[in-house]
Amino acid sequence: MKIVLVSGNSYDVVYIATIAAGLAFIVLSVLYYTTRSRRVRVTPVYLSGEKEDVVSSVSPSVATLYWGFMKRFARALYDALIGRVHTGSLHDWYKFLSSWLSWLLLLAIVVFVLILVVG
């Protein structure tokens, strides 16, 4: 003998199946945590049998991530930065920075004034 519940509402199916999964989770957790091994071994092993002190840092530095991204995915921007900004000449750096920053500064001032005037 079996019980067949025919539901006219699809949401009922979702609710009942979710409750069934929740109940199964409780049963499984009880079974698992009562039988699970209590022995714990703390290991310093990091990779391929070596400890983590074989690497200089455990995660890439922010600068590495930034330059990795720029070189791989923003090649045009990278070339522009290298060719026009970081040329080694302080004059090039100042020229680039002053031009763009001047425009941005002017824009910021205009917006600020507009906000003050318009409210």
Binding site for other proteins (CB under 8 A): 1-10, 12-14, 16-25, 27-29, 31-32, 35-37, 39-47, 52, 58
Question: Which three-class secondary structure state does DSSP give residue 24?
Answer: helix
Nearer to other proteins, 13 or 107 (CB): 13
Task: In whole angstroms, give the CA distance from residue 23 to residue 91.
Answer: 71
Diameter of the chain by CA atoms?
89
* Contact criterion met (CB below 8 Å) for 92 and 84: yes
Nearer to other proteins, 10 or 57 (CB): 10
Nearer to other proteins, 9 or 56 (CB): 9
Distance in Å, CB of 59 to other proteins, minimum = 10
